[in-house]
Chain A
């Protein structure tokens, strides 16, 4: 008779030992916990030096980190608060235009224009999204998808903010290393900061809103207010990315509202693994360079892009990060049923 086999997954002893804080008593256990984090931090910080002699790719690092921020914002909203945001471009556009207005029109220096654009952009984005926050369902997704299109048309039609030419002449970063490390360090801060935030008490309440908003209401908490907090945090991250990109290109135009800024972060989360935040960033680190490589194929790159995405959705829908975490923490073996 044929014996049935089944795959069994068991936590590694090391993982079990390192679960409680008191269990850490050896360098090996500390390394087990810290290793992946340190690898990511050190790897990112080393990137500008690795590509020292490839200036084109050094610029890709910047844009890659900006996309990573947008992906983190998407992952946070979708998988921790239950709001699917199809409009990353809304955040980048608003943040970018604010930075341009502060820098070019008001003459503020770059180290003021970016933070100010981040805060005021986040406030404005939250304000525009307010009407759909009390509602459940697809409304938030639709509205976020529409806003970038709306703003593009308004700027074109009214010929404000430089119209189709955009606002040119933004200050660039004083030196290229500042340019790289500003975004790398901010990306790391937001990544680890958000991971911490979602496990704080207020983060747990937001996760409660995603799980079950009726229960949150019955617990005496205003769900709309919680969603406002979440949208502010996400648009804060997105507007920073937008303001940074505007200064990076020394230009803010309607292409800051382009669909790329909405789609690539979502694709990054699909590839990286939703609900991990790190996965979102790693997805962006894979997708953005990939799309640069595929630039040589011209419009054909969309085809390759689609194949990669479809492949991931069909064969590894859990995403890279969740797969890696499983391999790291557990081992598998075949057992008889």
Chain B
């Protein structure tokens, strides 16, 4: 533990009616971490992301980003600080072509600040940057794919488009909500290098995953949740050896 953690979560609690979705969850994330969050269905993984990124309000607890309290901020303010997120159910702008989907994050105040697009020129500049980002994320520039309507893209490309939307913001932290789910093995094989590339660029990643095999290839720390409670946290292999984690996963996919 060197300096201050980039993201520090303390005692987040969230209930939906009588259901306790999250109970007093705390953890720290260091800069450059690839932090995995695992847990069975309904254990509160996505709720945790929603709480941290401001999409739902927490009842108690505190989220600090680089020492700054961002608890209860609006989602767009949090994104503006440099915390991007993907959605588990992909949310592209279906009526726009894939590369035009990126115009929206590139238009945001953050992208203008961080130089996500090289301004100065007239229209067209953002289009060029958008296609550049898509190419980085695995859309073949010379094919028709980047110019197709987002609604006609296959799932693999829609997942990539979610990541591209985050990358356009030049974020410091990205929350990936099940980027591997629903993909074929070959599509996942194509995604893993992207994650590694983001990591090498110094982006801190928090990955919610069910695909443990792939997650453990990239993650350096893992936290396990069950019924909204933190079971354990540590090195990936230690976590999966943990008795409580094994019990929570019993009957589901092993590793």
- Seen from chain A, the residues whose Cβ lies within 8 Å of a Cβ on chain B are 200-202, 204-205, 207-208, 210-212, 214-223
Contacts and interface: CB of A to CB of B under 8 A. Distances in A.
Interface residue tally on B, bucketed by range = 20 to 34
Contacts of A200: 123
Interface string B97-116: 00011011111111100000
Nearest to A202: B107
B221 to A, nearest CB: 24
Given A201-B107, A205-B104, A215-B165, A220 B79 contact: yes
Given A201-B126, A215-B92, A220 B105 contact: yes
18 contacts: A201-B123, A201-B126, A205-B104, A207-B93, A208-B93, A208-B96, A212-B93, A214-B55, A215-B92, A215-B104, A218-B53, A219-B105, A219-B169, A220-B169, A221-B76, A221-B104, A221-B105, A222-B74
Interface stretch (B39-47, B83-91, B188-196): B83-91
Nearest to A211: B93
A219 B108 contact: yes
B95 A201 contact: no
Interface in B192-229: none
A215 B158 CA distance: 13
Nearest to B104: A208
B107 A218 contact: no
Contacts of A201: 103, 106-107, 123, 126
A221 B107 contact: yes
A219 B93 contact: no
Contacts of B111: 220
Given A215-B92, A217-B75, A218-B75, A205 B55 contact: no
B110 A220 contact: yes
Contacts of B55: 214, 217-218
Given A211-B96, A214-B91, A217-B55, 11 more contacts: A208-B93, A208-B104, A211-B93, A216-B76, A217-B75, A218-B55, A218-B75, A219-B76, A219-B169, A220-B111, A221-B109
B87 A218 contact: yes
Nearest to A220: B79
A200 B100 CA distance: 11
B235 interface: no
Interface of B: 53, 55, 74-76, 79-80, 84-85, 87, 91-96, 100-101, 103-111, 123, 126, 165, 168-169
Nearest to B54: A217
A217 B79 contact: yes
Contacts of A202: 107
Given A217-B75, A221-B108, A207 B92 contact: no
Given A215-B87, A215-B165, A205 B110 contact: no
Contacts of B100: 204
Contacts of A222: 74, 76
A200 B103 CA distance: 10
A90 B108 CA distance: 32
Contacts of B168: 219
A267 to B, nearest CB: 24
B95 A205 contact: no
A205 B75 contact: no
The 5 closest A-B pairs by CB, nearest first: A220-B79, A219-B105, A211-B93, A220-B108, A217-B75
B76 A217 contact: yes
A205 B165 CA distance: 13
Nearest to B82: A220
B93 to A, nearest CB: 4
A211 B76 CA distance: 17
Given A211-B96, A215-B165, A220 B80 contact: yes
A20 to B, nearest CB: 12
Given A201-B107, A214-B55, A219-B105, A207 B96 contact: yes
Contacts of A217: 55, 74-76, 79
A201 B165 CA distance: 15
Given A205-B103, A205-B107, A219 B79 contact: yes
A205 B91 CA distance: 14
B191 to A, nearest CB: 19
A216 B123 CA distance: 21
A194 to B, nearest CB: 17
Nearest to A217: B75
